Amino acid sequence: MVIDCHVHYDGAPGELESLLKTCDAVGTDKCVIFSCESNDAVLAAAQAHPDRLIPFAYFALGADPVLRVNQFHDRGFRGIKFIFPRDNYNAPQYHEVYRRLEERGLVGLFHLGIVARPRDLAKADDNDSNRCRPIYLDHIARLFPKLHIIGAHFGNPWYEEAAMAARWNANLWFDLSGSSLKAKSPAFFRALLWWDKPGHPYTGHGGKHPFDKLCYGTDVAHDWMADVRSDYQLLLDGMAAPPDYRSKIMGGNALECLRTKE
């Protein structure tokens, strides 16, 4: 089972057919899809292909009312995508949002690290990358231990924060979508994911191996999905990941995070 945890979908003409065709070509069984433009389009696509597509809703932190979490759950969304927060992700005013996710078994998917430059510079204040640091997910994961969280992009460029947050929180996973696999070597990531070395007292929270904390995600146009898949294979080869952990990174960890059976 291969699960892509990071796919944008806006419902443009032909987009659904292209996505499914590409997934077939690269060997992806399921995708987590979301959109900052149309939650309705995401849900419609997932309802049409429930065996292939897992719908996440976009929630605007600092703008949307917390009641929307209840509504998204009742409509059939499996998780919530967060980006462009008006304050740091762990700000107290957002805690009720996360509490409701935890109560309803929804997954929180957080954009982390550098935010793309806005087309409309008047909205630049909503694009403060510093509000999206992975260390804030460490706090959220501790406050809401039953909330399952995926941090996107392994916190680029705050990779060390992401790695330590991963080690200390069994309910926190990270994808490696974005430019990191082009910019950083497998040795770089293996050095960050160090806590499985034999003969020392340091372990992961909940007995989690470092490779239990990574999920496959692409976050690219369909034409580039095969390229990202290749980058993940190079990463797994370079980290000498055993077959069982390769399977986990490419889909098994996502199944656990999403509370989904094959």
- What's 153's DSSP letter? G
pLDDT band at 260 (very low <50, low <70, confident <90, very high): confident
Exposure of 133 in the CB half-sphere (CA atoms within 13 A): 13
Residue 198's CB: how many other CB atoms inside 10 A?
4
- What's 114's DSSP letter? P
**pLDDT of res. 110:** 98
Q: What is the pTM of this model?
A: 0.96
Task: Tell me the average pLDDT across 158-167.
Answer: 98
Q: Position of tokens 């419609």?
A: 44
DSSP notation for 167-229: HH-TTEEEE--SSHHHHS-HHHHHHHS-TT-TTSS---GGG--GGGGEE----S-GGGHHHHH
pLDDT band at 122 (very low <50, low <70, confident <90, very high): low
Task: Name residue 79's beta-bridge partners.
Answer: 56, 107
Q: Distance between alpha carbon 56 and the CA centroid of its chain, in Å?
A: 11
3-state secondary structure of 5: strand
Closest CA to 172 of 151, 188, 191, 143: 151
**pLDDT of res. 261:** 64
d(CA 196, CA 131): 31
Q: Distance between alpha carbon 26 and the CA centroid of its chain, in Å?
A: 20
CATH code that applies to domain 3-258: 3.20.20.140
Where in the chain are the domains? 3-258
Q: Determine which of 83-87, 113-117, 205-209 has the lowest per-residue pLDDT on average.
A: 113-117
Greatest alpha-carbon pair distance for the chain in Å reads 56
3-state secondary structure of 86: coil
Task: Tell me the average pLDDT across 48-63.
Answer: 97
CA distances from 17 to 33, 186, 200 (A): 14, 33, 50
Query: Quick check: 241 and 211 in contact, CB under 8 A?
Result: yes
CA distances from 12 to 16, 41, 57, 196, 253 (A): 8, 9, 17, 44, 30
**pLDDT of res. 262:** 61
